Amino acid sequence: MSEASRERPGPGAPSATDLIHHAYQPPAGFGSPAVPVHKGSTVYFDSVAALREHHWLDKQAYTYGLHGTPTTFTLEARLATLEGARHVLLAPSGLAALTTVDMALLASGDTVLLPDNAYHPSKEFARHELAHWGIAHRLYDPMDPASLWAALGADVKLVWLEAPGSVTMEFPDLPALVRTVREAAPQAVVALDYTWGAGLAFSPFDLAGLGGQGVDLTIHALTKYPSGGGDVLMGSIACRDDALYRRLALAHSRLGLGVGANDVELVLRALPSLPLRYAAQDAAGRRVAQWAAGQQPVIRRVLHPAMPGSPGHAQWQASCRAAAGLLTLEFDPAIAADAVDAFVDGLQRFRIGWSWGGPVSLAVPYQAARLRQLGTPYEGVLVRLSIGLEDPDDLIADLAAGLARLAGATRR
Ligand SMILES: *Cc1c(COP(=O)(O)O)cnc(C)c1O
């Protein structure tokens, strides 16, 4: 089935047009596509009365640079459009967005649940800072709603979801997980790390098959696709509910989190091309994945939710209209880890480095045995590939040359 003919699950999919034709009033007599970079720590008030009157939670008024400028408010509004949310907060990184949610919603004695395939630094924050503050965490298997059911209780105030999981790319049954939390722990807030979906692949606030229901909030590492340049660190928190927004915004303000106007400008400048870049990286990622699936037995399996046989493929089909340009190669576990490291070292087009969503393709090897605490079905070495904007034929040629070198080295 071609992507164009795939039915779009869930309402509310933002269009490229919505991201470009957004409400913005330039100063009288001047119009250009760019949003001005407004800088200011100090913001002037016309009178003492105005200084006392204006509250920073009121987006109609400016009070202090940390609480927003016309530039940051514009990015917040555009991200709300992209994600189908009402409210957005900006944070200095994706990880800061994630930890802000934890700090805003959890108190001593509470428990937070994390999927075992969560973004690793999120688990580390739970293991260290949250534990120091008397906040417990439990892990669940996101591919088994019964495992989530068993982990839920009256102490659980926050449940994190991630789709797909970090590195191993399992796509969970999001509607089933949300339904499980609503039934077993109605007091818990459901938060999704939406970085992979980038506001485009599915609609977390309006999940297909959940009758207009969805998660309560998302975080998004704008560092990845929205920035698109591999040169900005930024994160966002998005939600629909006014009361939840107030809790998050108050904590965010008390924590003193701000983002620089120049970085915001870079993200604003990249947003109009986000759907085009995401589609191109999706198409290139699937081409590389299909090629890699033919490289058995050296590559035992390709982990990419759009690939049949990848964990959660059926759930991806039910929930998503697209995929990010990310895939993981599961190497034959008989191949030594240092041979796989040498394969990665030898790649020319793929650079070695963290993150994804930028123009340059990246590769990182992971030891499968170290990835999970609840047990793992993966062995040996996994190589996570982030597909950039290069010609996919050049990327495939680079990987093919690497596999030929690997075959030569392991034969000797
Ligand atoms: C990169 C990433 C983050 C963190 O974003 P930073 O801006 O690098 O802090 C969080 N979650 C996921 C899934 C990510 O890929």
Task: Annotate 14-33 with DSSP letters as a single string.
Answer: --HHHHHS----PPTT---S
Q: Provide the angle, in degrees to the nearest 10, between the axes of the packed helices 261-270 and 70-83.
A: 40
Is the CB of 95 inside a 6 Å radius of any atom of ligand 1? yes
Whole-number pLDDT of residue 3: 42
Distance CA(331)–CA(407), nearest Å, equals 12
Pocket test for ligand 1, best of 100, 122, 193, 194 (most atoms within 8 A of CB): 193
Determine the topology of domain 274-411 in CATH.
Aspartate Aminotransferase, domain 1 (3.90.1150)
Is the CB of 223 inside a 6 Å radius of any atom of ligand 1? yes
Residue the block writes with tokens 């040996």: 380
Domain range annotation of the chain:
48-273, 274-411
Whole-number pLDDT of residue 143: 97
Which of the four CATH numbers 3.30.465.10, 3.40.640.10, 3.40.50.300, 3.40.50.150 does domain 48-273 have? 3.40.640.10
88 Cα distance to chain centroid: 15
Is the CB of 93 inside a 6 Å radius of any atom of ligand 1? yes
Distance CA(277)–CA(95), nearest Å, equals 23
End-to-end CA distance of the chain: 43
Pocket test for ligand 1, best of 101, 193, 223 (most atoms within 8 A of CB): 223
Burial of 256 (0-12, 13-18, 19+ CB in 10 A): exposed
Distance CA(216)–CA(244), nearest Å, equals 8
Q: Which whole-number Å values give the CA distances from 405 to 381, 399, 400, in the listed order? A: 17, 10, 9
Residues in the chain predicted with pLDDT less than 50, given as ranges, are: 1-8
Distance CA(166)–CA(159), nearest Å, equals 16
Q: Which residue's CA is the closest to the ligand 1 atom numbered 2?
A: 221
Answer yes or no: are the C-beta atoms of 213 and 344 closer than 8 Å: no
Whole-number pLDDT of residue 5: 42
Is the CB of 235 inside a 6 Å radius of any atom of ligand 1? yes
Whole-number pLDDT of residue 18: 81
Is the CB of 94 inside a 6 Å radius of any atom of ligand 1? yes
pTM of the model: 0.93
Distance 221 CA to ligand 1 centre (A): 5
Whole-number pLDDT of residue 7: 47
- Bridging pattern class, strands 326-331 and 381-386: antiparallel
